[in-house]
């Protein structure tokens, strides 16, 4: 059906011959723009210029996950653009018209949501503009629109042999008055030329030559450097300060007391660090956090998990009490996991240049959210968003670290710059980044399951005792979602299984440390507990762990296909002498994944070596296949690293670890071979970035059991825990 949309007001920018198309997240309704000039303000999703070049807006943020290429790829495909003519523009402001549909239109890149969140919007934008170009060209040639084809920035009318570039079409008179086709002519999957094709990532050349610029790299004229000595325990401030020696340090310019620390501003970073080392600060020492140590915290969480008090139901169907009463056999276990640190290799850094009136600023930040970074600046300066000029820097790793509502590194840069009347770069050392990190929360989980006479799982009760991450890191969002904390609970829903009686509940415990989303969020520990526990139940039931899953996935053909596939992949390699294999099935969000790992154990050292990982993933339509592989490989290694090594401990409110020598992450020569299968289908795209890691820790724990006959129910599987299990 071809019908003109009622364009009551000017919906497109009048900007010479350039055109911009905007779409609301809900569909093809076109939205009016405030600006009259696209040359001054980049205001749309896409702009075709008279020189036939195309500019596509990138509304998310780039932290290594590849969305900066993948999202424009989607729009360009529907537009039938010539990819070589496409340039990409980062959205540098909190403009909610381009907000993430998966996050209520907040500019927020997390939860592996960029592709699935923006997929429909970007297709509609590209297809709408392509329709306009075809329609206008048809009018020019006085032919039927249906006879006008597009491809690589060009319209052609085959019967007459005529053609024009997109640039020529948008330069035609009254292009912006062109009637719209509705609905927009979306491509079929077979027609895709960029979606699902190997398109090299745009950011990779600069990242292979040292040219990519991160926040920590920014230098602006007259910039000072600031490092901050922070209160070692959360919730404390400066009681007394002697900064005489710091001020006497060569090139130190000023010392500023911050809400929870002291900043030393200097002409060089070297001097700032030297000045900081010379500070003499006494802290208030009144914080309740001084009484928290991680061992006691986990013990308290364990008690809560095992307790009787009801939590907030996260996911429920049937009746677990009745189900357990009916079961022919039942089993229970407690699983625990320690705090874990993001360990992104770029430590936190920000540059701020506050305006002379103190009510505006230009800022350079690596952030996962334009919205909350802008908000941080407006809150700190007591100003409005229009006074904040944000420069979005590519991030040296995100993993959830850069998602906070209030971003203290930026806050400190703003406060310092305001005081100094000069631009200031705040740099965190690795020690700062770890000591003042915000972690995957410690968690204790109690699981109880029942099986029927055939050894089929009929009931599962999963109690997760951990604090609410959202309540802490984003109180505004918590007001909207309380008591459902997806960050703390994801994965516990075990939704790929049919379990007649099921309850996952959140026992919200007291927060004893700074906490944040961390790659895989809740699934990084809930899947560890659930999938290792199911392996225990399968063993008790005398059923093969893969068949045990199959028996509760009869209505999940996509999931069972992954189990079949990964079983086949692993079977192609004979199990080596002295090694064991373990299986787990856990995806992320709507993405399903099945994995098998092969390990060996050095019993005297207590070390586990992961030799091989096979993983099969179904994430629906894949936009960027090679990058999807890279993300899954990276997720797998993240999972190995977290399962074997990663552990933050806290004593009297202070983090015990300092640097990579005592917070260990995986190195190259500890990496397993990884074989990845990604299902090819045209289903709705789902999450990729965090699909690889949740299944790895339980698969390793299950492999450990297969090899040694012992269970380890505490993540990470450190040498002391391995030796204890083998004793």
- Binding footprint of another protein on the chain (CB under 8 A): 63-66, 200-201, 203-214, 216-217, 219, 225, 250-251, 268-271, 343-347, 394-399, 427, 429-431, 626-627, 630-631, 633-638, 641, 659-661, 665-671, 673-674
Residue 137 or 343 having the CB closest to another protein? 343
Q: How far is the CB of 428 from another protein (least distance, A)?
A: 10
Q: How far is the CB of 523 from another protein (least distance, A)?
A: 17
Task: Identify the H or E element spanning 276.
Answer: helix 269-277
Q: How far is the CB of 681 from another protein (least distance, A)?
A: 23
Q: How far apart are CA 629 and CA 636, in angstroms?
A: 10
In the structure encoding, which two tokens stand for residue 406, read together?
């209030």
Residue 126 or 635 having the CB closest to another protein? 635
Please tell me whether residue 240 adopts helix, strand or coil conformation.
Answer: strand
Q: Of 87, 115, 78, 80, nearest to 100 (Cα)?
A: 115
Residue 9 or 198 having the CB closest to another protein? 198
Q: How far apart are CA 259 and CA 245, in angstroms?
A: 22
Q: How far apart are CA 265 and CA 258, in angstroms?
A: 12
Residue 208 or 604 having the CB closest to another protein? 208
Residue 43 or 636 having the CB closest to another protein? 636
Q: How far is the CB of 634 from another protein (least distance, A)?
A: 3
Kindly state the DSSP code that residue 146 receives in the 8-state scheme: G
Residue 332 or 656 having the CB closest to another protein? 656
Q: Are 508 and 483 in contact (CB under 8 A)?
A: yes
Backbone CA torsion sign across 238, 240, 244, 245: negative
Q: How far is the CB of 20 from another protein (least distance, A)?
A: 30
Q: Of 279, 274, 323, 584, nearest to 448 (Cα)?
A: 323
Q: How far is the CB of 61 from another protein (least distance, A)?
A: 11
Query: Which residue, chain included where needed, has tokens 């309740």?
Result: 288
DSSP H stretches of helix in 54-113: 67-79
Please tell me whether residue 348 adopts helix, strand or coil conformation.
Answer: coil
> β-pairing, 388-392 with 424-427?
unpaired
Q: How far is the CB of 71 from another protein (least distance, A)?
A: 16
In the structure encoding, which two tokens stand for residue 205, read together?
């050349």
Q: How far is the CB of 286 from another protein (least distance, A)?
A: 32
Q: How far is the CB of 269 from another protein (least distance, A)?
A: 5
Residue 239 or 576 having the CB closest to another protein? 576
Q: How far apart are CA 367 and CA 375, in angstroms?
A: 12
In the structure encoding, which two tokens stand for residue 606, read together?
């207590």
Residue 63 or 264 having the CB closest to another protein? 63
**Half-sphere exposure at residue 173, Cβ-oriented, CA atoms within 13 angstroms:** 1
Residue 155 or 570 having the CB closest to another protein? 570
Q: How far is the CB of 283 from another protein (least distance, A)?
A: 24
Residue 162 or 609 having the CB closest to another protein? 609
Residue 201 or 714 having the CB closest to another protein? 201
In the structure encoding, which two tokens stand for residue 331, read together?
């089993």
Q: How far is the CB of 262 from another protein (least distance, A)?
A: 20
Q: How far apart are CA 70 and CA 194, in angstroms?
A: 9
Query: Which residue, chain included where needed, has tokens 């993430």?
Result: 100
Residue 314 or 399 having the CB closest to another protein? 399
In the structure encoding, which two tokens stand for residue 223, read together?
């910039």
Q: How far is the CB of 339 from another protein (least distance, A)?
A: 17
End-to-end CA distance of the chain: 73
Q: How far is the CB of 404 from another protein (least distance, A)?
A: 19
- Phi and psi at residue 658, to the nearest 5°: -120, -35
Query: Which residue, chain included where needed, has tokens 């993948």?
Result: 70
Residue 394 or 468 having the CB closest to another protein? 394
Q: How far apart are CA 517 and CA 490, in angstroms?
A: 11
Q: How far apart are CA 505 and CA 518, in angstroms?
A: 20
Cα maximum dimension of the chain: 85
Query: Which residue, chain included where needed, has tokens 């549909």?
Result: 101
Q: How far apart are CA 164 and CA 162, in angstroms?
A: 7
In the structure encoding, which two tokens stand for residue 299, read together?
């013990």
């Amino acid at each position: 059906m071809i019908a003109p949309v009622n364009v009551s007001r000017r919906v497109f920018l009048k900007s010479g011959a350039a055109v911009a198309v905007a779409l609301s997240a809900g569909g093809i309704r076109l939205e009016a723009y405030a600006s009259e000039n696209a040359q001054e303000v980049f205001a749309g999703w896409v702009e075709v210029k008279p020189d036939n070049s195309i500019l596509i807006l990138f509304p998310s943020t780039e932290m290594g996950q590849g969305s900066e290429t993948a999202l424009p790829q989607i729009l360009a495909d529907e537009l039938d653009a010539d990819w070589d003519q496409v340039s990409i523009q980062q959205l540098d402001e909190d403009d909610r018209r381009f907000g993430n549909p998966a996050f209520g239109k907040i500019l927020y890149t997390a939860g592996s949501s960029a592709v699935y969140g923006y997929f429909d919007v970007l297709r509609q934008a590209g297809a709408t503009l392509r329709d306009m170009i075809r329609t206008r060209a048809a009018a020019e040639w006085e032919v039927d629109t249906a006879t006008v084809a597009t491809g690589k920035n060009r319209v052609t009318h085959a019967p007459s042999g005529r053609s024009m570039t997109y640039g020529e079409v948008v330069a035609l008179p009254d292009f912006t008055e062109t009637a719209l086709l509705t609905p927009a002519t979306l491509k079929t999957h077979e027609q895709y030329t960029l979606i699902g094709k190997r398109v090299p990532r745009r950011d990779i050349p600069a990242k292979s030559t040292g040219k990519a610029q991160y926040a920590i790299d920014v230098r602006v004229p007259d910039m000072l450097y600031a490092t901050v000595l922070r209160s070692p325990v959360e919730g404390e401030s400066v009681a007394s300060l002697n900064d005489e020696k710091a001020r006497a340090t060569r090139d130190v310019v000023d010392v500023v007391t911050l809400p929870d620390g002291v900043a030393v501003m200097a002409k060089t970073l070297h001097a700032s660090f030297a000045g900081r080392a010379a500070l003499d600060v006494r802290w208030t020492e009144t914080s309740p956090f001084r009484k928290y140590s991680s061992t006691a915290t986990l013990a308290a969480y364990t008690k809560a998990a095992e307790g009787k008090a009801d939590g907030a139901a996260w996911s429920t169907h049937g009746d677990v009490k009745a189900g357990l009463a009916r079961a022919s056999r039942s089993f229970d276990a407690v699983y625990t996991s320690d705090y874990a640190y993001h360990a992104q290799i770029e430590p936190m850094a920000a540059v701020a240049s506050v305006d002379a009136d103190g009510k505006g600023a230009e800022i350079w930040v690596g952030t996962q959210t334009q919205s909350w970074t802008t908000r941080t600046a407006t809150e700190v300066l007591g100003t409005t968003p229009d006074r904040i000029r944000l420069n979005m820097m590519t991030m040296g790793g995100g993993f959830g670290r850069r998602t906070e509502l209030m971003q203290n590194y930026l806050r400190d840069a703003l406060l310092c710059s305001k005081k100094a009347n000069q631009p200031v770069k705040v740099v965190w050392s690795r020690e700062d980044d770890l000591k003042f990190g915000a972690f995957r929360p410690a968690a204790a989980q109690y699981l109880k399951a029942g099986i029927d006479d055939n050894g089929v799982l009929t009931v599962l009760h999963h109690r997760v005792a951990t604090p609410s991450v959202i309540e802490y890191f984003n109180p505004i969002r918590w007001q909207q979602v309380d008591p459902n904390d997806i960050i703390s609970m994801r994965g516990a829903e075990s939704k790929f299984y049919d379990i007649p009686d099921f309850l996952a509940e959140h026992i919200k415990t007291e927060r004893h440390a700074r906490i944040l989303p961390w790659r895989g969020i809740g699934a990084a520990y809930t899947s560890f507990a659930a999938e290792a526990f199911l392996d225990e139940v399968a063993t008790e039931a005398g059923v093969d762990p893969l068949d045990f899953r199959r028996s509760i996935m009869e209505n999940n053909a996509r999931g069972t296909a992954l189990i079949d596939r990964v079983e086949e992949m692993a079977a192609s390699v004979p199990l080596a002498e002295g090694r064991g294999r373990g299986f787990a099935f856990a995806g992320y969000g709507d993405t399903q994944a099945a994995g098998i790992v092969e390990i060996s154990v050095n019993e005297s050292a207590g070390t586990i070596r992961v030799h091989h990982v096979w993983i099969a993933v179904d994430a629906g339509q894949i936009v960027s296949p090679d990058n999807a592989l890279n993300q899954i490989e990276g997720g797998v290694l993240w999972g190995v690293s977290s399962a074997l090594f990663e552990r933050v401990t806290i004593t009297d409110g202070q983090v015990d670890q300092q640097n990579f020598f005592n917070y260990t992450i995986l190195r190259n020569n500890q990496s397993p071979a990884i074989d990845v299968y990604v299902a090819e289908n045209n289903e709705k795209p789902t999450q990729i970035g965090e699909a690889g890691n949740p299944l790895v820790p339980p698969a390793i724990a299950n492999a450990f059991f297969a090899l040694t006959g012992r269970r380890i129910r505490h993540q990470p599987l450190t040498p002391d825990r391995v030796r204890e299990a083998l004793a």
